[in-house]
Structure 1
Amino acid sequence: MTTSNSSLKYNLFSPQGRISRATYIAWSLIAAIISLIILLILSSAFLSADISSLDLQNSEEISTFLNSVSFIQLPIYIIGYYFLIIFTIKRLHDLNLTGWLSLLLFIPLINFFFGLYLFFAKGNISSNKFGEPRVALSWETAVAWIYIIIMCLVGLIMVSALMQLATLL
């Protein structure tokens, strides 16, 4: 199976098939960044258009305004979660597990450990009941490593901040 031929014919946005750890990590990051950019653009456009006429003394008007901002953001969240579920199903297939386990993403606390499992578990090297393995493209691997390094740095910063906070208390 050659990478170039299979990647051209491979539909990343379908729940069928498999994706590797690197592909899962890279595309999860890309989907999150795209969702964040779209949310920021829509929110800033909405805020700049309507905030000038907003009466800041009227709590009911502020509540209505914030609800309408949330209503605009809801479709973006739904689309983002759709892609996250598709990527998770494909990653589960790489582990030779059913895609129904992707529903664990919606259970608080369990979703954290489930996400760690998806990030660190090694997929089947050979074909399984969900098909042939898809080799991660080189740029997907690079993006995945960048994401891992950034997350490690963020973790170190958080631990350092918590240690500083503990000394202040």
Structure 2
Amino acid sequence: MNQPYQAPSSNVAVAAEDAVYQPKMFSASGRIGRMRYFVYGAVMSIAFYAVMAVAVGIIAAVSGGLEQAQQGAGMVVLGFLYFAMIIAVLVFAVIFMVRRLNDFNASGWLSLLLLVPLANLVMMLLLLFKKGTAGGNDYGPAPTENSGRVKAVFWVALILWLVVFVGGIIAAVSIPAYQDYMQRADAAQQMEFSDY
């Protein structure tokens, strides 16, 4: 019998669980996994530093040198550019946090915990290490598997971050020790010359 008003008998929930989508970096909706969250943040940071370095270079070239750029209107232009870039970085950082929270079926409002001391440390650890919900959740289908490009950028950014982190620790220890050594060597050398 053909009943046009009968409810469908197929299970539509299964199709929604298996659905995936390709995340876009500058999208304000959807979900992103741990690796994409790290990669998007790294790309955003590198872009920020690259734009600021180019701006400083251009202003220094136009002003006749870095010292003149620090005294004139170049500093005002750099200040406005820096302020605009910081606002853009904050907006995208919040968008990435909300999308990452949505990945493990949490509300984006939890990103406000980053303003609370100590809770922000726990929140950052959750964002970086908590696995997302398998399949679809309240915030949409699961993101696709990470592409080779995302994995490559992840490893390059992680290695670069570790090199800078370890290099900073080594520099913080070795530079004062080297300066102390140089002062003692100069004092010893002056003592040798004063004997003659």
TM-score under structure 2 length normalisation: 0.65
Matched residue type, 2:142: P
From 25, 37, 60, the counterpart of 1:12: 25
1:99 aligns to what? 108
> What is the correspondence of 1:1-169 to structure 2 with a 5 Å cutoff?
6-7=21-22, 10-51=23-64, 62=71, 65-106=74-115, 111-135=120-144, 136-161=146-171, 164=174
The question of whether the paired residues in 2 share the 8 Å contact of 1:18 and 1:90 is answered with yes
Matched residue type, 2:165: G
Cα drift, residue 18 of structure 1? 0.4
Residue deviations 1:76-113 (CA, integer Å, cap 9, x gap): 22122222211111111012111122234455665455
CA distance in 1, matches of 2:62, 2:117: 36
Cα drift, residue 64 of structure 1? 6.2
Cα drift, residue 124 of structure 1? 1.3
CA distance in 2, matches of 1:137, 1:22: 10
Cα drift, residue 166 of structure 1? 8.9
The question of whether the paired residues in 2 share the 8 Å contact of 1:23 and 1:137 is answered with no
TM-score under structure 1 length normalisation: 0.73
CA distance in 1, matches of 2:34, 2:100: 7
Matched residue type, 1:66: M
Quickly say closer, same or farther: Cα 1:85–1:68, change in 2 above 3 A: same
**Bigger RCO of structures 1 and 2 (CA < 8 A, at least 6 apart):** 1
CA distance in 2, matches of 1:42, 1:140: 28
Residue deviations 1:7-66 (CA, integer Å, cap 9, x gap): 2xx4432332100111111111111111211111122212322356x879xxxx938653
Matched residue type, 1:18: R
Quickly say closer, same or farther: Cα 1:36–1:113, change in 2 above 3 A: farther
SS of the aligned residue for 1:157 comes to: helix
CA-based RMSD of the aligned residues comes to: 3.3
Structure 1: stretches of 5+ with no match in the other structure: none
Of all paired residues, the percent bearing the same amino acid is 25
Matched residue type, 1:156: V
